[in-house]
Amino acid sequence: MPPLPSYKSLQIKIMSVHSITAETAAAATDIAYLSVNNIEVIYDHVILVLKGISLQVPQGKIVALLGANGAGKSTTLKAISTLLRNERGDITKGDITFRGQRVDHLTPNELVKRGLSQVMEGRHCFAHLTVEENLLTGAYTRSLSRSELKAELEKVYHYFPRLRERRNSQAGYTSGGEQQMCAIGRALMAKPSMILLDEPSMGIAPQLVEEIFEIVKSLNMQEKVSFLLAEQNTNVALRYADFGYILENGRVVMEGEAKDLSSNEDVKEFYLGVSGAGRKSFKDMKFYRRRKRWLA
Ligand SMILES: Nc1ncnc2c1ncn2[C@@H]1O[C@H](COP(=O)(O)OP(=O)(O)OP(=O)(O)O)[C@@H](O)[C@H]1O
Ligand SMILES: [Mg+2]
């Protein structure tokens, strides 16, 4: 029988295994959780809307997809969630992977089961159902017992105390902000590890927008939900996101850490409505446009 290893050698072994595990874990968090690779999207077989979009969402991060009206934000989210097919849209090039596996051929139902849910632009609550009934519909992909369902509801109410207050109100009669919360809460009932959130600030009072983003941040920190959120409201999105992509005309024109984007002079001028140089005269507009074309 070989001699037993000394306590000292065992300790060294354990320490090296520990450091490998720590390194692997650190590397794993950097691996793209969601990866969109050079996708092209065409509606109705002729309208080319996305012209080669690539983006990554690392695990546990909030990534903002920014851009003006019609830039292609919602189309990108719908391409990921496969809801594009309902609108006669097709991914004609590129691919999408989620947790290392191709997902662009799955059904929305299969995607939700894998942990990826979308909250559509415009909230889309069932107006004639109560807030609580809306939330319950979100758990349809899971077979939960009555007590488990109750616990899941409690979790949603913990993050959205306003929904608890309004639980028996018909969703159609609640405010825009409450409907947005209801839509996010319903997505949470499927226990997603990632949520695609489309324009959560749209048509909502600024105070509620802030409240919703605070909740998104705490879901991210405490429940470890990753978010890809599309927003026209660049200001609020960059304050809560870790990373951002700016889309124009179906292409990514800029990307970077949220803090770097918010201090970038071009982003300030074109998307945040502030400029270090103060108010520009009409004469400068030509230069503006030229630079913007260069940006695109
Ligand atoms: N179902 C569709 N059929 C044809 N074209 C569409 C369809 N949906 C969107 N588009 C076009 O695709 C382009 C991108 O639209 P998309 O909704 O993705 O933009 P967006 O960045 O989400 O804009 P917004 O901020 O206004 O929501 C627009 O020019 C739009 O007209
Ligand atoms: Mg949109």
* d(CA 119, ligand 2 centre) in Å: 12
> What does each C-alpha distance from 52 to 40, 42, 97, 123, 274 come to in angstroms?
5, 11, 15, 28, 30
**243-248/251-257 β-pairing:** antiparallel
* pLDDT band of 287, cuts 50, 70, 90: low
Q: For atom 4 of ligand 1, which residue has the closest CA?
A: 43
200 and 229 Cβ atoms separated by less than 8 Å: yes
Whether 71 is in the pocket of ligand 1, judged by its Cβ within 6 Å, is yes
Percent of the chain with pLDDT over 70: 81
61 and 38 Cβ atoms separated by less than 8 Å: no
If one compares 57 and 23, the residue with the highest pLDDT of the two is 57
40 and 92 Cβ atoms separated by less than 8 Å: yes
* d(CA 72, ligand 2 centre) in Å: 7
Whether 232 is in the pocket of ligand 1, judged by its Cβ within 6 Å, is yes
50 and 41 Cβ atoms separated by less than 8 Å: yes
* pLDDT band of 3, cuts 50, 70, 90: low
Which ligand has the shortest distance to the CA of 233?
A: 1
* Distance in angstroms (rounded) separating the CA atoms of residues 33 and 48: 27
Q: For atom 17 of ligand 1, which residue has the closest CA?
A: 74
Q: For atom 29 of ligand 1, which residue has the closest CA?
A: 70
| Residue-level pLDDT at 224 | 94
Whether 214 is in the pocket of ligand 1, judged by its Cβ within 6 Å, is no
pLDDT of 26 higher than 50:
no
Residue 230 Cα: closest atom of ligand 1:
22
As a whole number, mean pLDDT of residues 277-293 equals 51
| Residue-level pLDDT at 60 | 95
Q: For atom 1 of ligand 1, which residue has the closest CA?
A: 87
Whether 74 is in the pocket of ligand 1, judged by its Cβ within 6 Å, is yes
Q: How many CB atoms lie within 10 A of CB 86?
A: 9
- Write out the H or E segment, with its range, that includes residue 187: helix 176-188
258 and 241 Cβ atoms separated by less than 8 Å: yes
Which ligand has the shortest distance to the CA of 68?
A: 1
What would the pLDDT profile of 125-184 be if each residue is shown by its tens digit? 899 999 999 999 999 888 888 889 999 999 999 999 999 999 999 999 999 999 999 999
pLDDT of 201 higher than 70:
yes
Quick one: angle between helices 206-222 and 176-188, nearest 10? 10
